[in-house]
Structures are given as C-alpha cells and as structure tokens.
Amino acid sequence: MAIILDKEWDSLTGFDNQLSAIPHYQLHPEMLPFIGQHYPETRILLLGESHYLSNEESEVTKQMRDWYKRSTQDFSFKWPSNFDTRGVVHNYLTGWRSKASTMFSNPAKALIEAWGLTEVNDGEAFTAFAFFNYFQRPAAYSGSSISLTIEDEEQAASILPQVIKILKPNKVIFLSKKAFDSYCRQAGDVDSGLIDYVYHPTSSYWNVEDGGKKLLGLFSSMRRYDGFSLNGSLTLEKANQVMSSSPYRFIQKRQRRFYDGTVTYRIYMDSNNPANVSEIAWYYADGNKRFGMGYVVRSKIMWVWDYDTKWYMDEKAIKNHSRLMELHQNVRRMISLL
C-alpha cells in the first residue's frame, strides 16, 4: 500500500554484528532475522518454514545445490526480494499484503486476543516478535513446501542454536510442524520449555487444536507486554484543530485536488465511525508534476505518491524536489500533533 517513512516498522539492528558473523548470513545477508521493535521486551522468536522463488525462476533452482557455498549474488535471481526476510516482513507491516500474509497476521491476531490488545493492530502486534524461516534455502516453487535435502536439514539445525544464543529468546515457536520435526530429527533432545510448535498459519491445519488455538494458549501463558504505542483513533475534531492552523487549502471529497503552487488536503472519514478519521491526504502540483502525500491513521503509515511514475517515493526521491521536501517536513510536524 505504501512506502513507510517511519523507522518504527524497521528491523532492529542491535544484534546485527553478532548475527552477521554467522557464515551463512555472510553469504546470504538477505536471510537475516527480522527483529521487531518490541522484541527486546517480549523475547518471542517465531520460525517459519522457508522462503520460495517465483515460479518463473525455476531454471535457477538447478544451481541451488551450491546454495550453501555461494553468495546470493552468484545466482541470476530476477526477484531476490522474495526471500529477503526483513523486506518481506516490512512489506507486510506497511500494507503490502496478499493471501500469504496470513503467515504473519494469524500469529499477530493470536497475540492480540491472548493479551487483550484491543487498540493494537496486527502490524504493530507483529513487532513483538523476532522472525526468520527455519530452512535456510528458498523453496523452488511459489506456494510449494520445500523439498528437503540432508544438507538443508543439517544447515538449518546448525544455524538455529547460533541465532538463539544471540537473540536469547524466552520462547521459540515453530510455525511449521515440518520444520519442527526436522529440527527434532537433527537435534535429538529438545528443550520443550523453550521450543514448541504450531501448524503453519496459512494451512488448513491452522484451525485444528495444534494450530491457532495452541498458539493462543502459548501466548496466554506468557507475561503480557503493555509497551505498544497503541494505534488508536483520531477524531475529526482533533484533526480539524491541527489542520486549521496549516497554510493549506481544505477540499471536500469531490472537489478538484490540484492547483498549481497550492497545497490542498482532504480528510477521509472512518467508514465504521464517522466521528473518526481514517486518513489525511495532501496534494501538490508543480507545473506538470503532481504529487500526493498521505497519513493512514490506524497503521501510522505515511506515503508519498508520484502521479507520473504511478508509484510510491522513498526519502531519497523526495529530496530531489525541494518544495515537496518542505511539504513532507511540514506534514510530519502536523502528524506529530495529531
């Protein structure tokens, strides 16, 4: 949905010096674990099964036998972002979601229910976790479970203890029975007080006893954490109070957005509660160039849109337009007051 301009959704980097010393992550740094902003307080480590390649890259899989000896850059992947752990989670947190996103949203919703986090959305709830996929090689085909080799199992089982030693989790939960069984085969004795499993959140087994219900029970047994920033509501009254002091021109829903050299803004109401605001958007035209900028209240996402490229802009691109950069800074100040 948007390019996030708030570091709250980024992975913590405080563990990276230690994690990057693991030889596998030197070859494949894109597979470094995601560390949520609230993980240091909750210490909950979730393990998925594996990333996967796009189906159109099946030819590349012929080289995958060398995966553990070669760098990612040695391969001709067209879509390496598919197995960028932090990138995949970041996309989920900032609204780029698909059916496969239940991998993240189902555990997050279980945490919300278990801890009674009524004012926290599933994106922020997921920042209570650290996450990475247990198997350290992407599956060959999109949507398919990984076809394992002995090397896959041995590599995964050797890396997990190293990560646990660095992250020091209070609880490690496999979100895959296949991955958990593989670990048990390799590790032998498993500390059941530290390590457990549930069925995969995207599978039909999620709705059976050892799926979502089990995860709910595991979370319920843990100490509740109350340090979330609480993505609550924004009333229309408060929004008008802040926005009325701005130099920008208010427009109604069907009014023209763009006036050359003039910044306009529009307030979008929450469909479930007309007294609350769901989003505020600003519009700016500079000659033939047109830009949009918005703030999504519930997720605290700020986006900037280029109408020419029809895509979201990052901070580097924004800095190429001085007037847009000034607007961006002013909007961030207004958001801080909401």
Residues 247 and 202 both lie in one domain: no
Residues 291 and 199 both lie in one domain: no
Give the per-residue pLDDT at 94: 74
Please indicate, yes or no, if residue 227 is contained in any of the structural domains. no
Rounded-to-integer distance, Cα 33 and Cα 163, Å: 9
Residues 280 and 202 both lie in one domain: no
Rounded-to-integer distance, Cα 223 and Cα 210, Å: 21
Give the per-residue pLDDT at 9: 77
CATH number for 86: 3.40.470
Please indicate, yes or no, if residue 11 is contained in any of the structural domains. yes
Please indicate, yes or no, if residue 230 is contained in any of the structural domains. no
Angle at the Cα of 39 (from 84 to 131), degrees rounded to 5? 30
Rounded-to-integer distance, Cα 18 and Cα 36, Å: 17
- Residue 24 token pair: 């596998």
Strands 171-174 and 44-48: parallel
For the entire predicted model, the pTM comes to: 0.77
Residues 120 and 252 both lie in one domain: no
Residues 260 and 144 both lie in one domain: no
End position of a domain, from candidates 220, 253, 269: 220
Residues 288 and 150 both lie in one domain: no
pLDDT tens string for the chain (338 positions)? 344 455 667 899 999 999 999 999 999 999 999 999 999 999 999 999 988 877 666 655 555 668 899 998 888 777 777 789 999 998 888 766 677 788 999 999 999 999 998 778 788 899 999 999 999 998 876 666 778 889 999 999 999 999 999 999 999 999 999 999 999 999 988 898 999 999 999 898 998 889 999 999 999 999 999 888 655 678 899 999 999 999 999 999 889 999 988 999 999 998 777 888 989 999 999 888 999 999 988 767 788 999 999 888 877 888 889 899 999 999 988 988 88
Please indicate, yes or no, if residue 308 is contained in any of the structural domains. yes
Please indicate, yes or no, if residue 228 is contained in any of the structural domains. no
DSSP three-state, residue 269: strand
- Could you give the angle at which helices 322-337 and 236-243 cross, rounded to 10 degrees? 130
Q: How many domains does the chain have?
A: 2
Residues 213 and 260 both lie in one domain: no
From residue 25, how far is each of 80, 154, 163, 227 by CA, in Å?
15, 16, 11, 31
Rounded-to-integer distance, Cα 27 and Cα 37, Å: 26
Give the per-residue pLDDT at 10: 86
End position of a domain, from candidates 161, 186, 220: 220
Give the per-residue pLDDT at 7: 62
Please indicate, yes or no, if residue 186 is contained in any of the structural domains. yes
Torsion, Cα of 214, 216, 218, 219 (10° steps): 170
Residues 110 and 61 both lie in one domain: yes
Please indicate, yes or no, if residue 210 is contained in any of the structural domains. yes
Residues 99 and 207 both lie in one domain: yes
> Are the beta carbons of 182 and 156 closer than 8 angstroms?
yes
Give the per-residue pLDDT at 273: 78
> Which residue is listed with tokens 């900028």?
293
From residue 21, how far is each of 76, 109, 153 by CA, in Å?
25, 34, 21
Residues 302 and 186 both lie in one domain: no
End position of a domain, from candidates 163, 188, 220: 220
Give the per-residue pLDDT at 13: 94
Residues 159 and 14 both lie in one domain: yes
* Contacts of residue 23, Cβ cutoff 8 Å, sequence gap at least 6: none
Domain that holds residue 144: 7-220
Residues 136 and 247 both lie in one domain: no
Give the per-residue pLDDT at 57: 66
What secondary structure does DSSP assign to 154-218, as a single string?
HHHHHHHHHHHHHH--SEEEES-HHHHHHHHHHHSS--TTTEEE---TTSGGGGSIIIIIHHHHH
- Could you give the angle at which helices 85-93 and 102-115 cross, rounded to 10 degrees? 60
Please indicate, yes or no, if residue 289 is contained in any of the structural domains. yes
